[in-house]
Structure formats: C-alpha cells, structure tokens
Chains A and B, each alone.
Chain A
Amino acid sequence: MPSAAGQTLRKVLAQSQKELLGDWLQGQLAASTLRSDLMKENELREQSRELLALLQTATQNGSLERIDGTDWTAVREFLARVSRSRAQQGFSSSDTATFVFSLKEPLFARLRADLGNDAQALADELWATGYLLDRLGLYTTEMYVKGREEVISRQQREMMELSTPVVQLWENILALPLIGTLDSERTQVVMESLLQKIVETGASIAIIDITGVPTVDTLVAQHLLKTVAAARLMGADCIISGIRPQIAQTIVHLGVNLSDVTTKASLADAFSIALKRTDANLSRYSGAAT
C-alpha cells in the first residue's frame, strides 16, 4: 500500500514526465560537472528518459523508503548498468552519483509548484523524495565501485596472460623473467607455462629470474621451491637469478632454505653458469664417443 508521503511524487512522475525530463536535461547540460568529452548528449537524454520512466513504474507500487524490494529491481539494474558503463567511460564516482542527485532540483520544483500552500505536505513530500534519491545515489556509487573493480581485475587478468614469457636463451636453456607480484594466481600460471615449455623443448636448464619481483616472502619462496622440484622431476635443473643483496638477507632471516638451489645475483651470471654446464655435458658426451 503506497503511503501518504509520496502521493505527489507519484503524480508528478506519472503526469509531468515530459516537462520533468526537459528541466532535468537542461540542468544537467548547463551544469559545470557535465562531461561532454566522455558522453554524447543523446546518450544522456536516453538515460535520463529511461530512469524517469522506470522511477514512475517503481513508485506506483513500491515503497519509497526501501529500494531493495522487487518493485525496484528494474531501477537497480538500470543504475548498475549506467554506473558500470560510466566507470568504464572514465567518469568519477561523484560525476556518476551527480546524475541521480541532479534530479532533485527539477523534481523539488515540481513538488513545490504542486503543493505550494500546504507547508506540511510539502515538507513531507520533499523529505520522502530527497531520501529516495539519496538512496538511489548511494546505490549508484556502490555499483560504480563494483564497476571499477571489474575494470581493475580485468586488467590484472590481461596482464597475467601477457606476462608469462618463457624464452629460449640457448639450446637446452630456458629463461623465465618474472615481473611483479608473485603471490596471486599468476604464479601458478607462470610456473605451469615454464614446466610445459621444458617438456616441449627438452631443455636441461631453466633460469628463473626474479629481478622484477619486489618482495620474496615465504609464499613466493614456496612457489619457487615447488617449481624447482617439479622441473627436476622432468629432468631440468633450475637456477634462480636476480637475488639482490636485500632479498638474500631477508630470505636468510625468514629461515627459508635455498641451499639445494643454485642462485645467482644476475641473469647474466646465471646464463654463463648454464652455458658452462651444458657445454661440459656436451664435451663429456663427445669425449665418451671417441
């Protein structure tokens, strides 16, 4: 049952939709916060029209105090869509919330025109309408943040896929230069791609270079140790390079035992060791053959 406060709001939304849209658009287009660089006037007009239409439907039966019910589903979905697309278009969160808040001015003006003489009713109506729009504005902001988070995690996923570059340095020698944070799911992907490449190439030495990894904690160390062990089972020895002095000290304090693993300060050092080892193997084989 619709409550008393909100009657006029319902009426205005139902009967003066067109005028309201005109006033609202005029206000938005004149506002200093308008971002015509990010969005076309047509799109703004279309979004404004759609929100008004959805609001009309929602307020006919829905409560004005709560927007989490089924009557408000369509409005919520619409606002979520708008917020997300604005987050992707590069609007700020306040730009996005302003879209909803800017409806207050034309709406309040209509309510005042309608209820001018009845101060009590006007106050009630303004309060209920203001409260509703605040709710919707906050919801928009929440959805905006979600939208941003989606953008960020998409970028993270893209980076993850980009940065699994196992390179063949020499016959039998692979290198995996790691860059960035290693404790995400990325580690798994990267390490698996190294093992895969060992199988494909039959390499006997893999250099894991951690020059670009800012922090080596016990989780990173554990991932490295597991990879080294798996590579060994597949017949390849690993060399870990890029262990800077501060990382070496920290690893020792952590109590992580890397003594079974060959470690080198730089990729160049690791490569030269690797060359020696593969050469040594070759000469031993050729020696045995003659």
Chain B
Amino acid sequence: MAVVHRSVLPIRSQEDIVRVRKATRESAVVQGFSLVEQTKIVTAASEIARNTLDYGGGGEVEVTLFSEPPRRGVRLVFSDKGPGIADIEQALKDGFTSGSGLGLGLSGAKRLSNEFSLQSKVGEGTQVTIARWR
C-alpha cells in the first residue's frame, strides 16, 4: 500500500471533532471522492470521533491518504486509552447505547465505510479503523 500522506490529530474537545471532520473532508476531496462518498466518510468520522471523546475520554486519529491502484482512499485510525468496550457485539448493535445517544454511531459508521474494524480491551482502550476508497 502506498501511503500518500499521513497526519495525526488530537481529539480532546468538541472543536477537535469539527477539525477531524474538516481534515477528513479535505482528504476525501484530494482523493477525488464524489460528494456522496465525501459525505459518507465525513459522517462516519464524525461518529467515531465523538465516541472517542465521549466514551474514550479523548484520544487521537491518524488520517492516511493511500493509493493502491486502481483504488485511492482515506483511512482513519481512532484510538483512545479509555475504559474499553466489554461487549463489542452489543456495542455494534443498532440502537444500543450506554449513554443517551441513538446507538447508531458504530453500526452506522460501519455501513458508511468500505472497511471497518474495532479492537478494544477493557481497562486499556479502544481502536476503531474506518476506510473508504473509490
């Protein structure tokens, strides 16, 4: 996989989430995504970034622009050192929330991405990877 560009952004505040969305949008534009594709990856990024902040207690995201001809895409790896997720299957269920959300962030982000993976260990933290390509 050829990495075209890689950067890391903090997720510590509400404003950081806005910055993550902006960086994701810009990356998607650089990669030539259509408006629909841009909107999908930006929305997925928004969901996971907010989880990182709200449930993970903050963390960071690594944004990678990659090129695997004929594919070009954006991959985002979110990580936090929060409480972790005890029951991953449950967390991924539509409508499950331990807070007061709609419980559609993880499952929705998964549907909006071409690639999705979630690693989590109780007491150690959570890592969520999403990617979209064209």
Contacts and interface: CB of A to CB of B under 8 A. Distances in A.
B40 interface: yes
B18 A181 contact: yes
22 contacts: A183-B50, A215-B39, A216-B43, A217-B43, A217-B50, A217-B105, A218-B47, A218-B101, A218-B102, A219-B46, A219-B101, A221-B102, A246-B36, A246-B39, A250-B40, A250-B112, A253-B108, A253-B112, A254-B47, A254-B111, A255-B107, A255-B111
A217 B108 CA distance: 9
A256 B39 contact: no
A255 B101 CA distance: 13
B39 A250 contact: yes
Interface in A201-254: 214-219, 221-222, 245-247, 249-250, 253-254
Given A183-B18, A215-B21, A245-B36, 19 more contacts: A183-B17, A183-B46, A214-B21, A215-B39, A217-B43, A218-B47, A218-B101, A218-B105, A218-B108, A219-B46, A219-B50, A249-B36, A249-B39, A254-B108, A254-B111, A254-B112, A255-B94, A255-B104, A256-B102
A184 interface: yes
Contacts of A218: 47, 101-102, 104-105, 108
A246 B108 CA distance: 15
Contacts of A184: 14
A15 B39 CA distance: 66
A249 B39 CA distance: 9
B42 interface: yes
A207 B33 CA distance: 32
Interface of A: 181, 183-184, 214-219, 221-222, 245-247, 249-250, 253-256
A254 B104 contact: yes
Contacts of B42: 214-215
Contacts of A216: 43
A247 B40 CA distance: 9
A92 B38 CA distance: 34
Given A215-B43, A219-B101, A245-B36, A253 B17 contact: no
Contacts of B40: 246, 249-250, 253
A253 B111 contact: yes
Interface residues of B, number: 24
B2 interface: no
A245 B111 CA distance: 17
A214 B46 CA distance: 12
Interface in B1-38: 14, 17-18, 21, 25, 35-36, 38
A215 B38 CA distance: 10
Contacts of A256: 102, 104, 108
A254 B94 CA distance: 9
Interface in B100-131: 101-102, 104-105, 107-108, 111-112
A183 to B, nearest CB: 7
B108 A247 contact: no
Contacts of A219: 46, 50, 101
Nearest to A153: B15
A215, A249, A250, A254 pick with most chain B CB within 10 angstroms: A254
A109 B48 CA distance: 56
A226 to B, nearest CB: 11
Nearest to A149: B15
A238 to B, nearest CB: 18
Contacts of B39: 215, 246-247, 249-250
Contact of A250 (B43, B94, B101): B43
A181 B102 CA distance: 19
Given A247-B39, A250-B39, A217 B111 contact: no
A229 to B, nearest CB: 13
Contacts of B104: 218, 254-256
A253 B47 CA distance: 13
B14 A183 contact: yes
